[in-house]
């Protein structure tokens, strides 16, 4: 049972559950007039077995899966406005990244050829549940998650395989092994007809990865660029140089 002082958008949960199945918990609103009159919203959620990745061991996982819809609509209604807000933001931390944002804005329409994927907004070692065999048993906390062009959610590899220490981002020795496993699991779940278009356009996938990294650092809060995590901003110049394995060879 979940009690909240504001409504929960359950659409991301429903979409993710449709695509990923029972690893995503089912969430439903409990209609209670007494609670509603007090400004309280109650929800029930199916119990997901397992323990957090943080408390278990690193297992296999899949960040995203193909879904339906047009990348063009997401680009026009979500990504382009986000980049334009970043370019006009008074947030001084954004100034040094405006050239990146301007370059990506000019390439945005190229992403229309990429399929939409369900992308978890905050995938981390708390939101991934694993069983005793280190197999993924659940992916939780889907609020604010949405559909994005393929590759935009790949920035999670930084926090899943990399690490932050002393306010700096580091790639441990096992980073490439984890990265390889990550990519193999993602590509394994892509239908053959979709995979072909992705494999033929690695440069465009790279643009999507870079765009996702930038926008994740400068998230929106009530349609403005919100406060930024200084540790992430400090690491951003390095993160923006990341190239997917197929590009760097």
pLDDT in tens, 27-84: 888 888 888 788 887 877 777 665 544 444 343 333 344 444 568 889 999 999 999 9
Class of residue 29 by CB neighbours under 10 A (exposed 0-12, middle 13-18, buried 19+): middle
How high is the pLDDT of residue 58?
A: 40
Q: Count CB neighbours of 76 within 10 A.
A: 14
| Dist CA 247 CA 165 (whole Å) | 27
Q: Where are the alpha helices (DSSP H) in the chain?
A: 11-20, 33-37, 71-74, 80-88, 98-107, 156-161, 175-188, 192-199, 202-217, 230-239, 245-248
| Pairwise CA distance, residues 50 & 133, whole Å | 10
Domain with CATH 3.90.1200 in the chain: 51-248
CATH fold of 51-248 reads: Aminoglycoside 3'-phosphotransferase; Chain: A, domain 2 (3.90.1200)
Mean pLDDT of the chain: 79
Dump pLDDT digits (tens) for 169-186: 777 888 888 888 878 877
User: Are 26 and 13 in contact, with CB atoms under 8 Å apart?
Assistant: yes
Is the entire prediction scored with pTM above 0.85? no
């Amino acid at each position: 049972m979940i009690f909240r002082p504001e409504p929960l958008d359950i659409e991301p949960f429903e979409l993710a559950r449709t695509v990923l199945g029972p690893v995503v918990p089912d969430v439903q609103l409990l209609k209670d007039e007494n609670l509603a009159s007090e400004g309280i919203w109650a929800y029930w959620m199916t119990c997901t077995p397992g323990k957090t990745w943080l408390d278990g061991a690193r297992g296999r996982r899949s960040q995203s899966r193909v879904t339906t819809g047009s990348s063009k609509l997401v680009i026009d209604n979500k990504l382009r406005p986000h980049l334009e807000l970043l370019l006009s933001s008074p947030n001084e931390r954004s100034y040094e990244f405006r050239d990146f944002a301007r370059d990506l804005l000019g390439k945005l329409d190229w992403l229309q050829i990429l399929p939409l994927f369900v992308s978890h907004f905050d995938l981390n070692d708390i939101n991934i549940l694993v069983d005793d065999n280190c197999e993924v048993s659940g992916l939780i906390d889907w609020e604010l998650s949405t559909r994005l062009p393929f590759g935009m959610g790949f920035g999670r590899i930084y926090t899943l395989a990399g690490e932050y220490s002393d306010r700096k981002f580091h790639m441990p020795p096992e980073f490439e092994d984890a990265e390889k496993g990550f990519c193999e699991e993602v590509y394994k779940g892509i239908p053959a007809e979709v995979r072909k278009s992705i494999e033929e356009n690695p440069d465009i996938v790279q643009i999507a990865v870079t765009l996702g990294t930038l926008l994740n650092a400068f998230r929106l809060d009530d349609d403005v660029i919100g406060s930024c995590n200084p540790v992430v901003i400090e690491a951003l110049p390095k993160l923006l140089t990341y190239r997917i394995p197929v590009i760097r060879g």
